[in-house]
Structure 1
Amino acid sequence: MLSLVATDLDGTLLRSDGTVGARTVAALEALDERGVLVVFVTGRPVRWMEALWQHVGAHGLAICSNGGVVYDVEAGAVRSYRTIPVEIGLDVVERLRAGIPGTTFAVERTTGFAKEPAYVERHRLPPGAPVGPMSEVFDDHTVKLLARHDELDAEAFWQRAQEIVGDVVTTTWSSTGAMVEISAFGVTKAATLALLAEEQGVGPDDAVAFGDMPNDLPMLEWAGTSYAMAGAHPSVLELAEHVAPGNDEDGVARVLERLFDL
């Protein structure tokens, strides 16, 4: 019997404008009333989640930064986190600089975002965000390293980065641009979700997962029931058992209504 819903956000639960549709809100509220555990599982950092916490439900848990952080919404605090060791992170930076010239870097830390001067952030920088050499901003609180290239194809950049540093860290790609998201070795959405599910006494056969991009692949493979969104990356469509309607059609909600007879 399904008792856990794990869903990606961008391109999956959220509409293209970043909002949560009314039909999706209603489905999430209905599941919360039934005591079904809904977990947002996203590459987003905690700082990009503020407007979405109201939709998590009374259980109030989310996995952010591709598995690097578990956030307790009710407490308003990071519950646990899995960092990239500093020496490994700095070694990865140097390997990628040498192997793919033109790569620039930023970090997501439990204490906030930071970047090197050459890294062009596509969103407004958080107030007071440190800017400096990676040797200064990469610290013991770093849960995700961001590597960006402004000239290469996104998937080609990811594949090349994986070849260079995939032996010491976990790399993935979930954006439309050439940005590789890097976590500690073995840290994925699925790995952290599995730990969280075990704490709740839930196994893979009790879980349904939804996603659309390569960083969702481990999570979809872990869950007993998996859905790719219509229009998802080809690798996701190939792996998932089922295909849900698109995110702008409240596709997750439509599937949940059927699975849970809402």
Structure 2
Amino acid sequence: MTAARDALPDGTRLVATDLDGTLLRSDGTLSERTVAALARAHDEGLDVVFVTGRPLRWAAQVFDHVGGHGLAIVANGALLWDVDGDRAQLVRGMAPDVAVEVARTIRDQVPEVAFALETVDGFALEHRFLPRHPLAVDARRGELDDIADAEVLKLLVRHEGVTAEDYAARVVEAVGDAAVVTWSSSDSLLEISAPGVTKASTLERLCATRGLGAEHVVAFGDMPNDLAMLRWAGVGYAMANAHPSVLDAADRTTLSNDEDGVAVVVEQLLG
């Protein structure tokens, strides 16, 4: 497969890109070509904004490559982070009591689930929640009522023995308009955000502060948590390795994350 070479909008001012499965290779690194494309974009005045589902502690691993604007959108849009100032510029989380109520509503419908919480300051999880990555030393375990003591960026839901797609519809039905439900992995993890909080809605806010609209944005993604962003952007690219729903929804397709698909299009934009 080759990256689409349809004419890109002349007015493109900003590239919004997911990280895992999109900008990063499958081993979690940035290729030399991608690093070079990001540096050239910065030098030539094309903003590249990282828009990720990762929590802050994991997104920080690539902050050395954030452009001159110094901003990154993390936790599926719940946090706009000022990298240079090392502070939150915008927080769009759930109040602790709201997060607990959403969790109880989900558990009423899907009793097998376990919960964890992402906050600006770290990670907390129920005893029955089985993490897939080593826990930080400051991660807290406890009952949901006890660990939900700060604004919740993401409520994480895990149902062992099934995939996220197997039970996502039940969770969406349970929460209704009280939260946004999505996922970004092939295992059992669902990611719950406050009402209206998506990658797209926070990206739109960031763009508005810079006098930009959707028509100025080219976006890249690979998983369902990228769908709203790809649909909002003037041009939305699915990676060749993307989830089928993303391939169906995107305007165009580029090469896979392991073939530098984002860098290829950025190079085209820069000419």
Q: TM-score, normalised by structure 1?
A: 0.97
Structure 2 unpaired stretches of 5+: 1-10
Mapped partners of 1:208, 1:199: distance in 2? 17
Matched with 2:130 is: 120
Distance 1:49 1:153, change over 3 A: closer
1:52 equivalenced with 2:71 (yes/no): no
Matched with 2:241 is: 231
Partner residue of 2:48 out of 21, 29, 38: 38
CA deviation profile, 1:204-231 (whole Å, cap 9, x unmatched)? 1000000000000000011001100002
1:207 equivalenced with 2:210 (yes/no): no
Matched with 1:7 is: 17
Mapped partners of 1:159, 1:67: distance in 2? 21
1:65 equivalenced with 2:75 (yes/no): yes
Mapped partners of 2:48, 2:38: distance in 1? 8
Identity %: 49
Runs of 4+ in 1 over 2 A off after TM superposition: 85-88
1:26 equivalenced with 2:28 (yes/no): no
Structure 1 unpaired stretches of 5+: none
Aligned-pair CA distance for 1:60: 1.4
Contact 2:154 2:192 in 1 (8 A): yes
**Pairs within 5 Å for 1:64-103:** 64-103=74-113
**Pairs within 5 Å for 1:152-163:** 152-163=162-173
Mapped partners of 1:41, 1:166: distance in 2? 25
Contact 2:77 2:198 in 1 (8 A): yes
Mapped partners of 1:156, 1:48: distance in 2? 27
Mapped partners of 2:56, 2:18: distance in 1? 14
Contact 1:157 1:180 in 2 (8 A): no
CA deviation profile, 1:108-130 (whole Å, cap 9, x unmatched)? 00111111111111111111211
Partner residue of 2:114 out of 104, 108, 111: 104
Matched with 1:182 is: 192
Mapped partners of 2:96, 2:87: distance in 1? 23
- Whichever residue aligns with residue 248 of structure 1, its letter is D
Mapped partners of 1:181, 1:166: distance in 2? 15
Aligned-pair CA distance for 1:138: 1.2
Q: Secondary structure at the match of 1:167?
A: helix
1:193 equivalenced with 2:203 (yes/no): yes
Contact 1:64 1:71 in 2 (8 A): yes
Mapped partners of 1:236, 1:146: distance in 2? 22
Mapped partners of 1:144, 1:32: distance in 2? 30
Aligned-pair CA distance for 1:176: 1.2
Contact 1:228 1:244 in 2 (8 A): yes
Matched with 2:266 is: 256
